[in-house]
């Protein structure tokens, strides 16, 4: 069992600051996701927790005790990577047992633990095979098995599903959530895929350029992003951003549109951006009231249950997830309704909400 706390972690490689004042508090037994684009500092954060990398400044604590100076083995955390790194000449059973062999666990106890883990991961029928005879998904389960068999205090997982095809990734998300519930230990999971993070996390920390942008539940980071980066990175489709300004309680778009200014915008000087997700926009006449922007259809992409429209509003193209009941054509003029209760405003220059 383990609560994992990072306080004020900084780490530089030569003149590149990979981590800058990173602080997170991971509750014991939670599924915590570090989410961010490539190069954000996610792997470095995991390596600092595991003791594979020493921070320049800051502290890592396990259950309130500083890990400063503790070796990776003493920290007793297990890491799972996107490359499975299995031993090709050993069977699945031997691969899973390998961490136990290093610890002088007796053969009966070893066999029992390997079988338990294999059953939990649904690979008990594969124990005598070699890694070369397994699919990617099966290999990833063996790698997970090798981490689980040790019963470490926490699991650190670095984009473990990246090498799987889309369908399997989605299946494995549910499997990992089930596994987490079953073992009840702290999971710190690194991902660059916001859908994965939203599906699995108790809490998400969004990391960008070595800095924590926001920590919260999936709902909090989706509904109340603290800045433009979080708003555009989280969500199944990219948030639309429209340049505007406030004048006399009216939001005036650079492209000429006008909307009543939300309370948060009142008195805000200078340039703003209105952020609205495609799912919070609709086409006038679809039954949703609200305030409209006049535009022209630029592209139509049917998705089955919804249709994605790219709509030109002046010089800006925005994306709308519309109902598929009405046929839309390129070049057609329409009104796009904005749900202002679900809109976000950002300072144009700082990006802050």
**Could you tell which of ligand ADP, Mg ion, none binds residue 73, using a CB distance below 5 to 8 A set by kind?**
none
Smallest distance, Å, CB 221 to Mg ion? 20
Q: Which is nearer to ligand ADP, 211 or 271 (CB)?
A: 211
Q: Which is nearer to ligand ADP, 4 or 206 (CB)?
A: 206
Smallest distance, Å, CB 196 to Mg ion? 14
- Is residue 273 a contact residue for Mg ion (CB under 5 A)? no
Q: Which is nearer to ligand ADP, 81 or 346 (CB)?
A: 81
By CB under 5 A, the residues from 193 to 222 that bind Mg ion are none
How many beta carbons lie within 10 A of that of residue 223, not counting itself?
12
**Could you tell which of Mg ion, ligand ADP, none binds residue 18, using a CB distance below 5 to 8 A set by kind?**
ligand ADP
**Could you tell which of ligand ADP, Mg ion, none binds residue 186, using a CB distance below 5 to 8 A set by kind?**
none
**Could you tell which of ligand ADP, Mg ion, none binds residue 87, using a CB distance below 5 to 8 A set by kind?**
none
Smallest distance, Å, CB 233 to Mg ion? 16
**Could you tell which of Mg ion, ligand ADP, none binds residue 40, using a CB distance below 5 to 8 A set by kind?**
ligand ADP
Smallest distance, Å, CB 154 to ligand ADP? 18
Q: Which is nearer to ligand ADP, 43 or 213 (CB)?
A: 43
Identify which range of 42-50, 128-136, 287-295, 317-325 contacts Mg ion by CB under 5 A: 42-50
By CB under 6 A, the residues from 17 to 56 that bind ligand ADP are 18, 36, 38-44
**Could you tell which of ligand ADP, Mg ion, none binds residue 41, using a CB distance below 5 to 8 A set by kind?**
ligand ADP
- Is residue 191 a contact residue for Mg ion (CB under 5 A)? no
Can you give the chain as a three-state secondary structure string?
A: CCCEEEEEEEEEECCEEEEEEEEEEECCCCEEEEECCCCCCHHHHHHHHHCCCCCCEEEEEECCEECCCCCHHHHCEEEECCCCCCCCCCCHHHHHHHHHHCCCCCHHHHHHHHHHHHHHCCCHHHCCCCHHHCCHHHHHHHHHHHHHCCCCCEEEEECCCCCCCHHHHHHHHHHHHHHHHHHCCEEEEEECCHHHHHHHCCEEEEEECCEEEEEECHHHHHHCCCEHHHHHHCCCCCCEEEEEEEECCEEEECCCCEEECCHHHCCCCCCEEEEECHHHEEECCCCCCCEEEEEEEEEEEECCCCEEEEEEECCEEEEEEECCCCCCCCCCEEEEEECHHHCEEEECCCCEC
Task: Work out which of 4, 22, 30, 43 binds Mg ion, going by CB under 5 A.
Answer: 43
Give the span between the Cα atoms of 336 and 227, in whole angstroms. Answer: 24
Smallest distance, Å, CB 118 to ligand ADP? 30
Q: Which residue is nearest to Mg ion (CB)?
A: 43
Strand order in the sheet with 250-253: 258-260, 250-253, 240-247, 272-276, 344-347
Q: Which residues contact Mg ion by CB under 5 A? A: 43
């Amino acid at each position: 069992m383990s609560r994992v706390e990072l306080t004020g972690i900084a780490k530089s490689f030569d003149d590149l600051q990979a981590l800058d004042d990173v602080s997170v508090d991971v509750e014991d037994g939670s599924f915590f996701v570090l989410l961010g684009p490539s190069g954000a500092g996610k792997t470095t954060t995991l390596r600092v927790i595991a003791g594979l990398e020493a921070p320049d400044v800051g502290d890592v604590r396990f259950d309130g005790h500083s890990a400063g100076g503790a070796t990776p083995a003493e920290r007793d955390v297990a890491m799972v990577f996107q490359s499975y790194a299995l031993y090709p000449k050993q069977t699945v059973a031997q691969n899973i047992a390998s961490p136990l062999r290093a610890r002088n666990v007796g053969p009966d106890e070893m066999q029992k633990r390997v079988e338990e883990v294999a059953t939990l991961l649904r690979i008990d029928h594969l124990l005598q095979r070699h890694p070369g005879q397994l699919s990617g998904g099966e290999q990833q389960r063996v790698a997970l098995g090798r981490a689980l068999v040790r019963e470490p205090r926490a699991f650190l997982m670095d984009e473990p599903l990246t090498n799987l095809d889309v369908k399997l990734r989605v299946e494995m998300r549910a499997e990992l959530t089930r596994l987490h519930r079953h073992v009840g230990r702290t999971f710190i999971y690194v991902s660059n895929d916001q859908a994965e993070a939203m599906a699995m996390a108790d809490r998400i920390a969004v990391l960008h350029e070595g800095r924590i942008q926001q920590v919260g539940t999936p709902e909090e980071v989706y509904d109340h992003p603290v800045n433009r980066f979080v708003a555009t990175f989280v969500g199944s489709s990219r948030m639309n951003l429209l340049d505007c300004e406030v004048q006399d309680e009216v939001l005036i778009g650079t492209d000429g549109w006008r909307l009543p200014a939300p309370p948060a915008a009142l008195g805000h000087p200078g340039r703003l951006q209105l952020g609205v997700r495609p799912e919070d926009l609709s086409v006038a006449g679809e039954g949703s009231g609200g305030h409209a922007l006049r535009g022209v259809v630029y592209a139509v992409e049917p998705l089955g249950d919804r249709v994605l429209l790219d709509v030109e509003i002046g010089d800006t193209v925005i994306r709308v997830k519309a109902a598929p009941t009405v046929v839309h054509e390129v070049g057609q003029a329409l009104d796009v309704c904005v749900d202002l209760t679900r809109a976000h405003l950002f300072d144009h220059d700082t990006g802050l909400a």
